[in-house]
Amino acid sequence: MKAGTAISVAGIDAGIDVDDLSSLLMIRHFEQAVLELFARGLLNGTTHTCLGQEYVPVALGPLLAPGDFVFSNHRGHGHYLARFDDPEGLLAEMTGREGAICSGVGGSQHIFRDTYLSTGVQGESLPVAVGTALWFQRTGRPEIAVAYIGDGTWGEGAVYEALNLAALWRLPLLVVVENNGIAQTTPTARAMAGDIAGRAAAFGIAHVSVTGSDVAAIRARLAPVVDRTRAGGGPVVVEFATHRLGPHSKGDDTRSAAEVAAEREHDWHDAYRRRDPDLFAKVEDEQRKRIADAVERVLARPASAWERN
């Protein structure tokens, strides 16, 4: 694939994979529960939900091997849940209860589990992902490093240092950009000169553009892209045109109601529901209950070991 290749994935194919729908709805209900818990004063620290963006990690999930290293960012609940299907562990982490992934020390943004690491520091993960990809390459391993970043994180210099070396050394690095058009309160158009495709092209890095939210279609189109990077084809930037439906963090949405309503027009949730209302209602009930039960169980647990010390 040449630098600047654009793949556009729009539209919805027939047929819904129940596992994918379950993951999508599990993450949706998890995020809604998180906002409710915050509103009730039951969570500490801060949090950033991925409402509207759930389909990105769900689509990528089966394309990644267990040994691939995933570097997530501040908006990482969906990245974690799509990889581990572990809402109780994450909730325990965020509430500091027994069963927490990192003893409750990491909270919403700083998770380490096996080959998964998240950070709330924008741009911090990319140089680390490059180092990990270099290790994969030098040891002849078939794994890749995957780093999720937002559009706003392209303002960080570390991103360019990392891309430079990844391109120079043709590293097995997949940069997943969740471009939701806004960084906290700043519309991307008011902060970014040029675009992400042009910035990837400046380094001779392949760039793939993904629109639409159909998980199966996105996965089918990205499978050869991931294979190519895994086979030594060098780094790739995959940019999702996505939509942030919730506030930046808990209650700090500076967008007008009309702007948020326009974003909601793109919600995968409605698109999937329209495709098969009966199946959707059944799976949604299951996942709503699953998350409600998880909340109840986790809140009834004692504090995690770290919290007690």
Ligand X SMILES: Cc1ncc(C[n+]2csc(CCOP(=O)(O)OP(=O)(O)O)c2C)c(N)n1
Q: Which residues bind ligand X (CB under 6 A)?
A: 74-75, 120-122, 150-153, 178, 180, 182-184, 244, 248
- State the nearest-atom distance from the C-beta of 37 to ligand X, in Å: 20
Name the residue nearer to ligand X (CB basis): 153 or 229: 153
Largest CA distance in the chain: 54
Instruction: Give the residue with the Cβ less far from ligand X, 5 or 44.
Output: 44
Q: For the chain, how many helices (H) and strands (E)?
A: 12, 9
Supply the minimum distance, in Å, between the C-beta of residue 183 and ligand X. Answer: 3
Query: How far apart, in Å, are the Cα atoms of 284 and each of 214, 266, 270?
Result: 17, 19, 12
Contact assessment for residue 266 and residue 243, using Cβ atoms and an 8 Å cutoff = yes
Between 74 and 110, whose beta carbon lies closer to ligand X?
74
What HEC string does 23-60 produce?
Answer: HHHHHHHHHHHHHHHHHCCCCCCCCCCCCCCCHHHHHH
Q: Whole-number minimum distance, CB 117 to ligand X, in Å? A: 15
Q: What is the DSSP string of 157-212?
A: HHHHHHHHHHHHTT--EEEEEEE-SEETTEEGGGT-SS-HHHHHHHTT-EEEEE-S
Query: Tell me, what amino acid is at 42?
Result: L
If the CB atoms of residues 16 and 130 are measured against ligand X, the closer one turns out to be: 130
The two tokens of residue 309 are 């010390």
Nearer to ligand X, 5 or 185 (CB): 185
Closer Cβ to ligand X, 178 or 214, answer by number: 178
CB of 158 to ligand X, least distance (A): 9
Position with the least CB separation from ligand X: 150
Q: Give the shortest CB-250-to-ligand X separation in angstroms.
A: 13
| Beta carbon of residue 112, minimum distance to ligand X (angstroms, whole number) | 18
